[in-house]
Structure 1
């Protein structure tokens, strides 16, 4: 699933192309919404809320979409064929005289009123990249389930919105915290929240995601997808294990030297 910074950048680019312009093309290719027509309406803004995308229109309606694991939005000029994906994967088209936004395999398409947005995103915790970011509330949310592992707690979007599996692994490495540590045993949850905020903010304006400061292939991450390689900090071999209960289990990477824990998973 895309990280919060990827969703934020998608919303930012869609907003630049669509906001303030009347809609000339509107086509939702899902049965429940197939007859919805917002042509003539003006897009007021496109925003990200955690990993959700909200496209707001001047008539107080909002188009909600979610990328999940395989969804994406692409921008092209009118009349140009969108790249990469075949026609049958298109689920949404929103366009104006300058740009066409094509949603390939986007999920959870809904049309709601502005007030109804809370039914779709009201359960989310503070958004790391949103105007509502509140570190103290995020830490309080994490503490609600003190026996839960910090790795699973960070992925719970009701605690704080935006951290995905990659940032989970990288933030915990940077804070020298074993992913299986119960929240009650984490010494500095405030630092984990602050580091999550810092790394997502640092990467939100470009598609490259780096936590090391390098963007070269194989050098951009400290531990993520580096299982079996040596730690860039201490040269210990990086470990990989599944964390969480199926079907929500995620591959987790950590350095036993930098992130020790007596009962670490074997």
Structure 2
């Protein structure tokens, strides 16, 4: 499932090519939006909130959606996907916007967007710098919930997906199973995750190490049963059905041991980010007051 940085890049791509253009043709084939006709409307804003995309038009309507696992956009030439997969097609002045296999799609009055995204926590990929302390407090309110599950809950913080739910705990030296209210200096972990995702949203590829490797750009994601890059212990993990948070996970049983109280390791974070441009945003990026 695409994460918040991917959706922000998508919004910027659509905006860069089509913002301010009028709709010449409009085809809505999804049963939830068959009434939708945008001909003559102008695209005035393209936004992303967490993992949701939003297309705002000058007639006061917003088309919204979620890619989940299979959704995607074709931009530019008219899509060659089968017509039944083209849930929404908009001919603009500079090409076509086509929503393909979109599992969640709808239209709402722009003034009522809160009914769609109002339940989400602070958006990590917003144009505004996220409030790290607020996010840490929201995570702590989950009590003894495992860290990974709390990070993935978009009601706590919007944008993190499974890559970050694996990588950020590893970088901070905390187990994804560690109860979130037993983690000291949770703010440092959140700040590291925020720095990574906000840096990656401006890049063409997601990378958590700062290195460009042939096999992976991640520390441990997808590397179960391989040596830990920190201590050489064999990485362990579990399938979706085995994890309380319902996602595939990987961790180091030595570096990320579960303890009654576990402290985030700022020195480890600094070392992990030393080659990554995200180091410029950690730990100093904070909202201005």
Q: What TM-score, normalized by structure 2, do the two folds share? A: 0.84
Equivalent residue for 1:114? 110
Distance 1:245 1:55, change over 3 A: farther
Q: What CA RMSD, in Å, does the superposition of the two structures yield over aligned residues?
A: 1.9
Distance 1:261 1:88 in 2: 49
Contact 1:26 1:37 in 2 (8 A): yes
Answer yes or no: is the 8 Å Cα contact 1:135–1:190 preserved in 2.
Answer: yes
SS at match of 1:145: coil
Stretches of structure 1 lacking an aligned partner (at least 5 in a row): none
Q: Following the alignment from structure 1 to structure 2, what is the Cα–Cα distance between the partners of residues 245 and 113? A: 41
Counterpart pick for 1:144 among 117, 141, 146: 141
- Partners in 1 of 2:162 and 2:13 — Cα distance? 24
Post-superposition offset of 1:90: 1.4
The answer to whether the aligner puts 1:206 opposite 2:213 as a matched pair is: no
Q: By how many angstroms is 1:93 displaced?
A: 1.2
Corresponding position of 2:269: none
SS at 1:41's partner residue? Answer: coil
Shift of 1:167: 0.8
Normalising to structure 1: TM-score of the pair? 0.91
Deviation per CA, 1:47-105, whole angstroms, max 9, x where unpaired? 0000000100011110011101111112123xx444xx433321111231212111111
Residue equivalent to 1:104: 100
Shift of 1:233: 1.7
SS at match of 1:32: coil
Q: Distance in 2 between matches of 1:243 and 1:182?
A: 19
Change beyond 3 A, Cα 1:223–1:159: same
Alignment coverage as a number of residue pairs:
259
Which structure 2 residue ranges, 5 or more long, are not aligned? 261-289
SS of the residue 2:113 aligns to: helix
Q: 1:246 to 1:228 in 2, by over 3 A?
A: closer
CA displacement at 1:224 relative to structure 2:
0.5
1:174 aligns with 2:174: no
Post-superposition offset of 1:212: 0.8
